[in-house]
Amino acid sequence: MEVHVSSIKRQRTIRMTFTYLLLVVMVVVIIYPLLWAVGASFNPGNSLVSTSLIPANPTTAHYEKLFAGEGSLLYGQWYVNSLKISFFTMLLTLISVSFTAYAFSRFRFTGRKNGLMLFLLLQMIPQFSALIAIFVLAQMLGMINSHWLLILIYVGGQIPMNTYLLKGYFDSIPLDLDESAKLDGASNTRIFWQILMPLSRPMLAVVAMNGFTGPLGDFALSSVLLRNPEYYTLPIGLYKLVTDKMGASYTTFAAGAILISIPIALVFLLLQKHFVSGLTAGGTKG
């Protein structure tokens, strides 16, 4: 008996050791490039080549250069442009997806199945496959360099996938709640705002994160529509920083790339409590 217990403990120890080793490897793979970029952003000169993660003579000159506004380096303006586009994309995506997911989840209407199938097909089509059509449309509408056209395209691209996500979450909420509320005289609008929306906070937080981070990392679509430097977003501006006439300053590029993570981290910190708290919120509201 003691031998059997000892064997079980040994196997458990081996499994735990292997699990922790795997986690350590994954953390190193994820963290190491980030640490390298942070170190490079404080490294003097313009080269990313360094013998250590921690620069021997760290400097903040690259961060200062980003906001100095010298020449065609308009990093501050690019930052504002990206935040504006990301914020309104997130807001409009939340509004539109909430309504479409609610309609597909709670109502039965003509074309419902075809609509869901269309959304499924749209998820399979990469957005960059329509770049030429989008560019021609922007030219016809006179909306080259328009942030609002870019926002609408981002929102349209996010509706199919996020609608499926939120619809699935709405489907998991019992219909008994809707029926009980209707017996108390609640309308569909009141059920939507006071029951389904509070209970769906975890998935709404996911949709909000998707809507906010998507535009911050997009290069292909924004580079087609935004032509003048003052309208650039961060991905375009940083790309031009190392490829255009401004000179290949890779350390300044690293500093600019690091700063992109700040708004993403802040949005995540603001939304993280909803991933769990939304599961129980709203169930007792009338």
What is the C-alpha separation between 110 and 115, in angstroms, rounded?
9
DSSP assignments along 263-283, one per residue: HHHHHHHHHTTHHHHTTTTTT
pLDDT band at 270 (very low <50, low <70, confident <90, very high): confident
Say how far residue 231 (Cα) sits from the centre of its chain: 21
> What single DSSP character describes residue 173?
S
Helices (H), the chain: 2-41, 61-66, 75-106, 112-124, 131-141, 147-172, 175-183, 188-191, 197-199, 201-217, 220-225, 234-243, 250-271, 274-277
Average pLDDT over the chain reads: 83
What is the C-alpha separation between 141 and 219, in angstroms, rounded?
22
What is the C-alpha separation between 234 and 130, in angstroms, rounded?
22
- Domain 68-277 is classified in which CATH homologous superfamily? MetI-like (1.10.3720.10)
Query: 41-71: per-residue pLDDT in tens?
Result: 887 776 666 656 677 777 888 888 888 766 6
Mean pLDDT score, 194-211: 89
Residue 35 CA neighbour count, 13 Å, CB half: 10
Query: 150-202: per-residue pLDDT in tens?
Result: 999 999 888 888 998 899 889 888 888 888 888 888 888 888 998 888 888 88
Angle (nearest 5°) at CA 72 between 233 and 219: 25
Residues 6+ apart with CB under 8 A from 230: 74, 77
Mean pLDDT score, 247-255: 76
The residue that leads in pLDDT, 91 or 2, is 91
Q: Do residues 173 and 200 make contact, with C-beta atoms less than 8 angstroms apart? A: yes
- What local confidence, expressed as pLDDT, does residue 5 receive? 60
Choose among 99, 211, 97: nearest CA to 165.
Answer: 97
Contacts 24+ apart (CB under 8 A), 106-111: 106/170, 106/178, 106/188
Say how far residue 147 (Cα) sits from the centre of its chain: 18
pTM: 0.81
Instruction: Report CA Rg, the chain.
Output: 24
> What single DSSP character describes residue 128?
G
Tokens representing 271?
Answer: 């939304």
pLDDT band at 92 (very low <50, low <70, confident <90, very high): very high
Mean pLDDT score, 102-129: 83
Q: How far is CA 212 from CA 120, 250, 281, in A?
A: 22, 26, 24
